[in-house]
A and B are shown apart, each in its own frame.
Chain A
């Protein structure tokens, strides 16, 4: 198994631009999580899905952030418009069930200039 796949691995964009991060969970996993990691705030859960349904989005910073999971093998996290304070590493993780081990993807390092 290839593990959790994220793309792009690095993204540099200018303030105000739209950014879309992509994630492919491990096949068969039914829970998917989006995290943001910064030095200041550590590892924060943004949103998670169970069986493609958003369960808890209380960690989404503001309306500029949105996430979708149109099917069991794909999810996106979109930031529109992006701001410099959104610069961080964004991780996607998946698990076989709620409460099971979470497997993290390699992350997307986002830099907003």
Chain B
């Protein structure tokens, strides 16, 4: 089955700096890679996703890159702000027939220092 590893487990950056979170996955057939943000005491919410036919996707200060050969994908946050502080989860999924499920990484706690 699919296994997703996420690094680092904690990340502290100065406001305005960039933050990068990396994930690797094991099943080469996985084809959907979402990123969720979870604020303290709240529900996980999708912030960006990428599918295996795309190498990079950007949405304002957030970007995700995918390297299918190496089986890893990364989240990049530029010009970080204190409200970016949260736990970020990556996930991988094989979306075909009835075998669809999201396997989540262990999460990265991001702290943006004002």
Contact = CB atoms under 8 A, between A and B. Distances in A.
Interface in A11-62: 31, 33, 42-45, 48, 50, 55-56
Given A42-B104, A43-B89, A43-B104, A98 B95 contact: yes
B101 A48 contact: yes
Contacts of B105: 42
Contacts of A45: 101-103
Contacts, number: 46
Contacts of A106: 42-43
A49 to B, nearest CB: 11
Main secondary structure of the interface of A (DSSP, over half): strand
Interface residues of B, number: 21
A33 B104 CA distance: 13
Given A99-B32, A104-B44, A56 B99 contact: yes
B80 interface: no
Contacts of A50: 98
